[in-house]
Amino acid sequence: MNPFLAVAALVFMVSLMFMLPLVPALVELRRKSDAQPLNVIQQNAGEIRHFATSFRSYIKGLEPAMQRCVAAGTSATGTLPDGEEYVVLGRADEPLVFALQQRDATHPVVMAAGADLTLPPDSTFSRDIYAGGEFQGGEKNNYRAILGEKTVYLGASSRVARWVHAVGEFTAGFCCQLVGRVSSDALIRLHADCSFLRLNAPRIEIGNAHTNTHEAMPRLSLPASIGSETLRRFLHDGDFEIPAGQVISSNFVVRGRLLIRSGARVSGSVKSVKDMVLEDGVAVEGSLISARKIRIGPHCAIHGPVVAERELAIATGTRCGSQEHPTTVSAPRIEVEEGVLVFGTLWAREYGQVVANL
Amino acid sequence: MIYALYIIVLVICVYTGRHYFFTLNRLFAFQRHPYIDIDTADWPPVTVLVAAHNEEKVIANILEALMTVKYPADKMLVIPVNDRSSDRTREIIDKFVEEFPGRIQPFHRVGGKGGKAAALKDAMELVTTEVILIFDADYIPGAGLIKQLVAPFFDLEVGGVMGRVVPMNAGTNLLTRLLDLERSGGYQVDQQARMNLRLVPQHGGTVAGVRLSALREIGGWNENSLTEDTDLTYRLLLNGWKTVYQNRSECYEEVPEVWTVRIKQIMRWAKGHNQAMMTYGFRLLLGKHRATLRERIDGTLLLGVYAMAPVTLVGWALALGVFYQGVAPLHGVIALLSLTAYAALGNLAAFFEIAAAVRLDGTRKRISLLPFLILGFGVSIFSVSRAAVSQVSDLVTGAEFHWDKTERFRKVL
């Protein structure tokens, strides 16, 4: 072979091999098939009511049909613009709903009820449900999502896969599994052995959160947690203990374990890098944050956000936030005893459970 | 010569390992987002500083966005820091002030030292709130961003907060697409891994926040710093404050669309970073302060990232020198192994990081542009090295740094 041609062939082959990985790149550069900016959520800010609001808009077109069905006490079926089949119920007629339940096993439909809605037990409703009136679910039911314009009650051992929003009060009977978001504009009440992930309401009662117990607790003043510089920051390396009954006006950062003994009161916020334990009757006017676990004893009062990066346990009689100043209680895993009261958000990222005893 | 090369190879291998460690952590380990769930709270008053120097093309966009965010209006004050602008920036800001009375308080700066840190320092006379958020004028915050950036300040250890930057003009040309990939790698993997591992997430000076009491404790903005964000990160760390990264607090920005602007930008970053390395490097690693051992190590490595470009170039030169010197066979085998590892991993680790980031972002086709990153890598290595050389020469000659504002590419409204 001609040496010149051999060298040329070699250069050509090497160039070809070098260019090979660039072929898909050049194609993409020319076609711009994935050149859009990453999708950043600009408008909805991860709000808990986002799905409920979207669903309300989605079924807005069914309003006239609902009014007609309510007036006539009948039902109607049809197809929504996106092809989903729906059923509109004009009355809470159990045999009718029972027929729907049978149908749902093979052919799920969106259900919209213009009036009160009572669902039978042991049923699966695999499409979203809208209730214009009161919603009463039977025991051991499975739901995908529920939007109730008044109160929503789930029978014992029911399960919700995605979300529930009640304009009125929401109550989950014993042993319910609330896998997605649950919100109410009034009150959420969870009974014993319920599991949950994300709850939001002006008032969240776990089990029988006796109002009188909480009202009798010392009233917290407004926190100076991050709103002002009035409290200095106390930084401590290693473990730390606040003695029983002590009243402290300071913000605390403890780079170890923190133990706050019974009846102590902190006029500020608290952070621990390791585990934090609050004994009974502790009051904290600011936030409570731990990079590990927090265990809050009975009859404590926390004003600001409570965040544990690993686990959180809250004992009976404890109150987080207040009616005027709702807050967030959050951890990957949360165990909460009956008798706890939270104003605002209770958010277990992985697993939340109402337990009889911690 | 060979020993110098070994040291360089060793250092490069450390950085390579760091890239892989961060990427694997981001892919498989527990992800820390401790404050993102705080959606209900007694939200504190907040001041939002918008740094603006000749920003007529973009200032209206950010002010519009800030007026529609979901944060109690009576608790948020926006202060556009108009730093000696000679275009229509002042006029546009004043129009917004009239339209939203009580919600925007302009700070029109007409003289003084140049640079963002100096402007922010002067603007502090208007700030009374404990929480301060900072945006550059080309950013467009979403509705929930302010709450997300404020939430970490409920943690008393937190002195600074950094959100994620996402290019909005990613599809414009090859450069913007490469910068989009680099940003993904830097934030989605690098910053989040540092957050996961409790290392040193870097304050970026925009889409960011700082606690007023922490800022005062460390002596306020350092107007002599070329990169006030890096400077802030290290002063906070040395004084027992943490900077946290919020990967889900995303905000659109505009990235440079021409190479000359990009080169100027990266040269300024490099000089500022190297300045911080000289100022804080030794004290961070060996000094007496509250940073943990892992923060000391990661912080030092982070300070050295821009120094790695000239080090790499020196390594290449040394490798050639060693080759032509015909060093002894034993050394040759080790050198060959090291150089192979360096060539293979030194480049690929960063690429692996970016590829992982793109996958985590859920995009697909843009990954095919990965080979082009070698182009961005080449430009960066020479620009950053040039910055380092010019920095040394400035030190010798006593020349002052000239602040180059990053050019904007949006159309004037």
Domain ranges of chain A: 52-186, 211-355
Q: Quote the minimal CA–CA distance from B214 to chain A in Å.
A: 10
| Residue of chain B minimizing CA distance to A200 | B40
pLDDT of residue B345: 55
pLDDT of residue B3: 84
| Residue of chain A minimizing CA distance to B34 | A309
A-chain residues near B132 (CB < 8 A): none
Helix intervals (H) in chain A = 3-19, 22-31, 50-58, 63-72, 94-104, 211-215
Contact pairs from chain A to chain B, CB under 8 Å? 164
Catalogue the long-range contacts made by B390-394 (C-beta closer than 8 Å, 24 or more residues apart): B390/B267, B390/B271, B391/B270, B391/B271, B391/B274, B391/B275
Instruction: Please determine, for residue B161, whether its predicted confidence score (pLDDT) is greater than 90.
Output: yes
Interface residue A41 vs chain B (CB under 8 A): yes
Please answer yes or no on whether A344 and B213 come within 8 Å at the CB atom: no
The first and second tokens of residue B115, run together, are: 């640079």
Please answer yes or no on whether A328 and B37 come within 8 Å at the CB atom: yes
d(CA A35, CA A26): 13
Mean pLDDT in chain B?
90
Q: Quote the minimal CA–CA distance from A247 to chain B in Å.
A: 19
| Residue of chain A minimizing CA distance to B371 | A22
Please answer yes or no on whether B40 and A36 come within 8 Å at the CB atom: no
pLDDT of residue A261: 97
Interface residue A271 vs chain B (CB under 8 A): yes
Instruction: Please determine, for residue A230, whether its predicted confidence score (pLDDT) is greater than 70.
Output: no
A-chain residues near B182 (CB < 8 A): none
Task: Name which residue leads in pLDDT, B180 or B351.
Answer: B180
pLDDT of residue A223: 47
**C-alpha angle B163-B169-B173 in degrees, rounded to nearest 5:** 130
* Percentage of residues of chain B with pLDDT beyond 70: 93
Interface residue A323 vs chain B (CB under 8 A): no
The pLDDT of A203-219, averaged and rounded, is 67
Give pLDDT tens digits for A1-49.
788 899 999 999 988 888 887 888 899 988 998 888 888 776 666 788 8
pLDDT-derived band at B73 (thresholds 50, 70, 90) equals: very high
Interface residue B46 vs chain A (CB under 8 A): no
Please answer yes or no on whether A305 and B170 come within 8 Å at the CB atom: no
d(CA B339, CA A86): 67
ipTM summary value = 0.87
pLDDT-derived band at B242 (thresholds 50, 70, 90) equals: very high
| Residue of chain B minimizing CA distance to A25 | B369
Give pLDDT tens digits for A174-195.
999 999 999 999 999 999 999 9
* Percentage of residues of chain A with pLDDT beyond 70: 87
d(CA A355, CA A123): 26
Give pLDDT tens digits for A323-345.
999 999 999 999 999 999 999 99
B-chain residues near A290 (CB < 8 A): none
Give pLDDT tens digits for B7-45.
888 888 888 889 999 999 999 999 999 999 999 999 999
pLDDT of residue A222: 47
Give pLDDT tens digits for B272-317.
999 999 999 999 999 999 899 999 999 999 999 999 989 988 988 8
Average the pLDDT over each of A113-122, A127-136, A289-298, B240-249 and give the range with the smallest value. A113-122
Touching B: A residues 107-166, CB under 8 Å: none
Please answer yes or no on whether B363 and A38 come within 8 Å at the CB atom: yes
Instruction: Please determine, for residue A106, whether its predicted confidence score (pLDDT) is greater than 60.
Output: no
Interface residue A16 vs chain B (CB under 8 A): no
Task: Name which residue leads in pLDDT, B42 or A99.
Answer: B42
Mean pLDDT in chain A?
87
Instruction: Please determine, for residue A217, whether its predicted confidence score (pLDDT) is greater than 60.
Output: no
pLDDT of residue A227: 43
Give pLDDT tens digits for B393-413.
888 887 776 666 777 777 655
The minimal CB distance from A305 to the residues B32, B38, B169 is found for B38
Instruction: Please determine, for residue B391, whether its predicted confidence score (pLDDT) is greater than 60.
Output: yes
Interface residue A43 vs chain B (CB under 8 A): yes
Query: What is the set of domains in chain B, with CATH numbers?
Result: 1-33+175-200+259-392 (no CATH), 34-174+201-258 (3.90.550.10)
Instruction: Please determine, for residue B344, whether its predicted confidence score (pLDDT) is greater than 80.
Output: no
The pLDDT of A138-155, averaged and rounded, is 94
d(CA A128, CA A146): 6
B-chain residues near A351 (CB < 8 A): none
Interface residue B87 vs chain A (CB under 8 A): no
d(CA A299, CA B263): 61
DSSP calls for B345-410: HHHHHHHHHHHHHHHHTT--GGGGGGGGHHHHHHHHHHHHHHHHHHHHHHHHHTPPPPPPPPPP-S
A-chain residues near B240 (CB < 8 A): 235
Q: Quote the minimal CA–CA distance from B362 to chain A in Å.
A: 9
What is the pTM for the complete model shown?
0.90
pLDDT-derived band at B374 (thresholds 50, 70, 90) equals: confident
Give pLDDT tens digits for A54-81.
999 988 888 888 888 888 888 888 888 8
The pLDDT of A139-163, averaged and rounded, is 95
pLDDT of residue A115: 80
B-chain residues near A310 (CB < 8 A): none
d(CA B49, CA B206): 9
